[in-house]
Amino acid sequence: MAVKIRLARHGKKGFAFYHIVAADSRAPRDGKFIEKLGTYNPNTNPATIDLNFEKALGWLLKGAQPTDTCRAILSYKGVLYKKHLLGGVAKGAFTETEAEARFNKWLDAKNGKIEAKSNKLASDAKSAEKTRLAAEAKVKEERAKAIAEKKAAAEAAAKEAEQAEEAAEAPAETTESAAE
């Protein structure tokens, strides 16, 4: 029986969520599987990968073949690198403690890159929020200025109308007094 490490799709339409499974290669995509190894959520940034490292490594050592996407996920999490290092230990190229030291060094560097990306995304979001608020404040000031100008124009028009009314009443009073 040929075993594949592949994704089984879950989640709703347009919002996929995957289980990483070890399954018989003849089984359907979302059908029967041998063991669930983890989950993969591509909807978050960066993508959320929850993987049982030891189970995945065990299946790889038994000869399970990952699909292209699962190979990328396993590489991202370091499972393939760990398998590579264990192969070097089996050949006698280096000791197991040296392999662990190399893997831990790689894992620290990888976690640093992930942390840097998360921090960059957070700072970009904050700066975008600041620029949006600044633009919103500018629009608010312009609106307040336009309303104040409109109000001043209305008051000026009201004063002119009042003065015109007074001017119209004043000649009428003089003509009435002249007529007497």
Which residue, among 15, 6, 54, has the nearest Cα to 34 in the 3D structure?
6
**Do 19 and 72 share a structural domain?**
yes
**Do 59 and 17 share a structural domain?**
yes
Distance CA 30, CA 15 (A): 16
On whether residue 63 sits in a domain, the answer given is: yes
Say what the pLDDT of residue 106 is: 93
Which of 78, 107, 134 is where one domain is finished? Answer: 78
pLDDT at 43 over 90: yes
Report how many domains make up the chain.
Answer: 2
Sign of the torsion angle spanned by Cα atoms 54, 57, 62, 68: positive
**Do 107 and 61 share a structural domain?**
no
Say what the pLDDT of residue 58 is: 94
Say what the pLDDT of residue 164 is: 81
pLDDT, one tens digit per residue, over 157-174 is 888 888 888 877 776 565
pLDDT, one tens digit per residue, over 48-64 is 999 999 999 999 999 99
Output the six-digit token pair for 64.
């399970």
pLDDT, one tens digit per residue, over 80-133 is 999 999 999 989 888 889 999 999 999 999 999 989 988 998 899 899 999 999
Distance CA 142, CA 137 (A): 9
Which of 78, 109, 138 is where one domain is finished? Answer: 78
**Do 72 and 11 share a structural domain?**
yes
On whether residue 85 sits in a domain, the answer given is: no
**Do 65 and 120 share a structural domain?**
no
Which of 78, 112, 141 is where one domain is finished? Answer: 78
| Domain of 55, in residue numbers | 3-78
Q: Which residue in this structure is represented by tokens 């190229």?
A: 93
String of b and e for 119-128 (b: at least 16 CB within 10 Å)? eeeeeeeeee
On whether residue 138 sits in a domain, the answer given is: yes
Q: pLDDT band for 3, please (50, 70, 90 cuts).
A: very high
